[in-house]
């Protein structure tokens, strides 16, 4: 059955896309404040007798940092799959009456940040297709495919006229379409046929009326873990989401594994040979500090990185301060190893990224002050070590150094708990194009001069890797070293708006040749300086 969107009571009309101007204002909307963005958080639960919609809500809440553009969930009571989604944060999309109406024993949920396809209601997830045998298929995806164009060609996207109607343009929607195409196959059999065709990064949760599925790409680029409830099972992007719903950690979903959970229990099948290449940036910034990856707490790893950073880049100083909050664990480690006192020098306005109010031009010019405020009494006259997790464009650090000097800091020494980010990510993280990355083409001294610091030190790739305790050949480190572990297509077949581009070609081939949509192609991103 089709998703019964209209069955769900709500104060909003969720059968219609939300207006663009109702989108929450994030840092990307404030000039100079664009941290790396993750590609989504996924959650799934199979638990008869439990309030699965509320469990999914809290699971998504714990994963909000992984995607803040849209949120959604699908719930089944064994007869019907109901999908509810909208642009916005989890707490903005769902309310008590909505969750109360979504009853069942099986659910999946999704927080979205877009890496393929624009930020539109159609691209919010779970994506949905009616199953050819009846019923429905809903899917949530964290990651980014690298063979989207090939898959689009395979399903004949080029031949499908849009007739002016909005339609999903995400790689995730293509996966759902592929799963729902063969009337002779069960969803499980279709998954075993489709998953080996996908290239790139994907941690998936999907479902029909009866069964919850979880699958991870053979490289395990994005995390996905399995947990146990007293009366059921949970899958989630991070262990922190298991904790919040009271599930105990069982194990990671293995790279190349398909898991099915239903009334017959849990079934596991290895659909491809695993070749692990977990994302190193999850340790640096993306994952929550209270999440564990490969059995080790992310917080512990980040503190260890700080210790190693202090040894690689020591400096005479009076106070170590973090850029809250992602720089905090490494600052703790730096202070511990260096013997320099740790303190708070910056206070974060935690809710600025949560507002619906568009900042006026005057407010925008405040830039970083919207987010961080210096504690003058703590830093005046001090030689500071300022620890941050990464430098992408450099605008944030430049504004930060200036702000600290204006607040009376005697010296500002910047220490970064990741190596220079020099390459874009095609596996689910949106940094910037290569031309926008400040470390692309500039030496460390030049970056230091550009941000106006007294000194600048990045942790080395070797030390960062050692701090994770994972061997380097089992990690993706491409944004730091340019060695992409999963083959990339030609630059014209990469880019966030690639599917819009394909559709545009269908609509008006001539016009499409003249108009390059933002994000189409990645020749800039891939060409070396």
Q: Across the chain, which distance is largest between two alpha carbons, in Å? A: 74
Q: Which position among 476, 493, 498, 525 is part of the footprint of ligand SF4 (CB under 6 A)?
A: 476
Alpha-carbon gap, residue 43 to 61, rounded angstroms = 10
First to last CA, the chain: 53
CB of 162 to ligand SF4, least distance (A): 31
Looking at 332, 478, 499, 525, which residue binds ligand SF4 (CB under 6 A)? 478
CB of residue 329 vs ligand SF4: minimum separation in angstroms? 19
Choose the catalytic residue: 40, 279, 425, 448: 40
Closest C-alpha to 409, from 310, 318, 329: 318
At 421, list the tokens: 């980010």
Shorter beta-carbon distance to ligand SF4: residue 280 or 346: 280
What kind and span of H or E run contains 505? Answer: helix 498-507
Q: How many residues bind ligand SF4 (CB under 6 A)?
A: 11
Q: Which of 279, 298, 321, 439 binds ligand SF4 (CB under 6 A)?
A: 279
Least distance from ligand SF4 to the Cβ atom of residue 430, Å: 10
Which CB, 113 or 281, lies closer to ligand SF4?
A: 281
Smallest distance, ligand SF4 to C-beta of residue 391, A: 14
Nearer to ligand SF4, 111 or 422 (CB): 422
Instruction: Name the residue among 240, 183, 195 with its Cα closest to residue 65.
Output: 240
- Nearer residue to ligand SF4 within complex by CB, 346 or 429: 429
> Least Å distance between CB 494 and ligand SF4?
13
Q: Which stretch binds ligand SF4 (CB under 6 A): 361-369, 441-449, 470-478, 497-505?
A: 470-478
Among 221, 335, 340, 447, binds ligand SF4 (CB under 6 A): 221
Contact 5, 362 (CB under 8 A): no
For residue 39, state whether it binds ligand SF4 (rule: CB under 6 A). no
Write the Ramachandran bin of 44: left for phi over 0, alpha for psi from -120 to 50, otherwise beta. Answer: beta
Buried b (16+ CB within 10 A) or exposed e, 13-48: ebeebbeeeebbbbbbebeebbbbbbbbbbbbbbbe
Under the binding rule (CB under 6 A), the answer on residue 479 touching ligand SF4 is: yes
Which of 214/280 has CB closer to ligand SF4?
A: 280
Question: Which of 280, 337, 392, 526 contacts ligand SF4 by CB under 6 A?
Answer: 280
* Dist. CA 163–CA 503, nearest whole Å: 11
**Residue 203 to residue 40: CA distance in whole angstroms:** 10
* Only segment of 277-285, 305-313, 366-374, 380-388 that touches ligand SF4 (CB under 6 A): 277-285
Residues 6+ apart with CB under 8 A from 69: 23, 26, 87, 112, 113, 114, 119, 124
3-state helix, strand, coil in the chain (%, to 5): 35, 20, 45
Judged by CB under 6 A, does residue 525 bind ligand SF4? Answer: no
427 lies in the site for ligand SF4, by CB under 6 A: yes
496 binds ligand SF4, rule: CB under 6 A: no
Choose between 213 and 484: whose C-beta lies nearer to ligand SF4.
484
Rounded least distance, CB 483 to ligand SF4, Å: 9
CA distances from 45 to 131, 215, 258, 291, 518 (A): 21, 14, 15, 19, 37
Given the complex with ligand SF4, which of 37 and 129 has the nearer CB atom? 37
Q: Which of 37, 216, 477, 496 binds ligand SF4 (CB under 6 A)?
A: 477
Packed helices 461-468 and 298-312: angle between N→C axes, nearest 10 degrees? 150
Question: Which of residues 115 and 211 has its CB atom nearest to ligand SF4 in the complex?
Answer: 115
Among residues 425, 448, 488, 494, the one that binds ligand SF4 under rule CB under 6 A: 425
Task: By CB under 6 A, name the one of 226, 429, 464, 522 that touches ligand SF4.
Answer: 429
Is 40 labeled as catalytic in the residue annotation? yes
Residue 525 C-alpha from the chain's centroid? 20
The footprint of ligand SF4 on residues 140-159 (CB under 6 A) is none
Answer whether 113's CB lies under 8 Å from 100's CB. no
CB of 423 to ligand SF4, least distance (A): 7
**What is the nearest approach in angstroms of ligand SF4 to the Cβ of residue 422?**
10
Nearer to ligand SF4, 57 or 426 (CB): 426
- In angstroms, what is the minimal distance from the CB of 276 to ligand SF4? 12
Peptide bond into 126 cis (omega under 30): yes
Residue 213 CB contacts under 8 Å (≥ 6 apart), including other chains: 44, 187, 188, 191, 204, 205, 206, 207, 258, 259, 260, 261
* CA atoms of 147 and 494, how far apart (whole Å): 9
Q: Which residues carry out catalysis?
A: 40
Q: Which residues of the chain form contacts with ligand SF4 (CB under 6 A)?
A: 221, 279-281, 425, 427, 429, 476-479
């Amino acid at each position: 059955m089709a998703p019964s969107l209209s069955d769900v009571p709500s104060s909003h009309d969720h059968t219609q896309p939300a207006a663009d101007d109702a989108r929450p204002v994030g840092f990307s909307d404030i000039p100079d404040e664009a941290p790396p963005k993750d590609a989504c958080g996924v959650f799934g639960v199979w638990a008869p007798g439990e309030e699965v919609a509320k469990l999914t809500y809290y699971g998504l809440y714990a994963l909000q940092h992984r995607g803040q553009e849209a949120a959604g969930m699908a719930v089944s009571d064994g007869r019907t799959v109901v999908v509810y989604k909208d642009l916005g944060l989890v707490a903005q999309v769902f309310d008590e009456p909505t969750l109360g109406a979504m009853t069942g024993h099986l659910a999946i949920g999704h927080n979205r940040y877009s890496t393929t396809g624009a930020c539109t209601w159609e691209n919010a997830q779970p994506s949905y297709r009616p199953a050819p045998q009846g019923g429905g298929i809903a899917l949530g995806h964290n990651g980014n495919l690298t063979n989207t164009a090939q898959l689009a060609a395979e399903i004949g996207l080029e031949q499908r006229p849009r007739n002016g109607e909005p339609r999903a343009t995400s790689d995730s929607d293509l996966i759902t379409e592929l799963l729902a195409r063969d009337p002779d196959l069960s969803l499980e059999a279709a998954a075993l046929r489709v998953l080996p065709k996908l290239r790139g990064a994907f941690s998936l949760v999907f479902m029909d009326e009866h069964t919850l599925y979880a699958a991870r790409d053979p490289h395990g680029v994005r995390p996905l873990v399995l947990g146990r409830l007293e009366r059921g099972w949970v899958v989630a992007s991070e262990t922190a989401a298991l904790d919040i719903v009271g599930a105990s950690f069982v194990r990671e979903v293995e790279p190349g594994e398909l898991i099915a959970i239903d009334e017959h229990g849990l079934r596991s099948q290895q659909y491809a040979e695993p070749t692990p290449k977990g994302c190193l940036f999850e340790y640096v910034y993306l994952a929550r500090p209270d999440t564990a990856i490969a059995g080790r707490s992310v917080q512990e790893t980040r503190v260890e990185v700080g210790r190693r950073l202090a040894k690689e880049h020591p400096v005479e100083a009076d106070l170590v301060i973090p850029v809250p909050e992602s720089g905090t664990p490494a600052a703790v480690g730096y202070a511990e190893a260096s013997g320099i006192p740790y303190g708070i020098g910056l206070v974060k306005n935690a809710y600025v990224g949560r507002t619906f109010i568009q900042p006026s031009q005057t407010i925008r010019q405040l830039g970083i002050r919207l987010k961080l405020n210096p504690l003058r009494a703590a830093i005046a006259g001090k030689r500071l070590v300022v620890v941050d997790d990464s430098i992408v464009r450099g605008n944030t650090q430049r504004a930060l150094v200036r702000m600290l000097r204006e607040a009376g800091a005697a010296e500002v020494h910047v220490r970064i708990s990741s190596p220079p980010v020099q390459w874009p990510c095609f596996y689910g993280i949106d940094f910037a194009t290569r031309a926008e990355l400040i470390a692309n083409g500039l030496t460390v001294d030049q970056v230091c001069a550009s941000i106006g610091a007294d000194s600048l030190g990045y942790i080395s790739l070797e030390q960062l890797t050692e701090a994770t305790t994972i061997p380097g050949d089992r990690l993706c480190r491409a944004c730091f070293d340019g060695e992409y572990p999963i083959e990339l297509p030609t630059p014209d077949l990469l880019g966030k708006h690639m599917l819009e581009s394909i559709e545009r070609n269908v609509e008006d081939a001539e016009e499409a040749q003249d108009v390059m949509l933002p994000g189409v192609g990645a020749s800039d991103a891939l060409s070396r300086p």
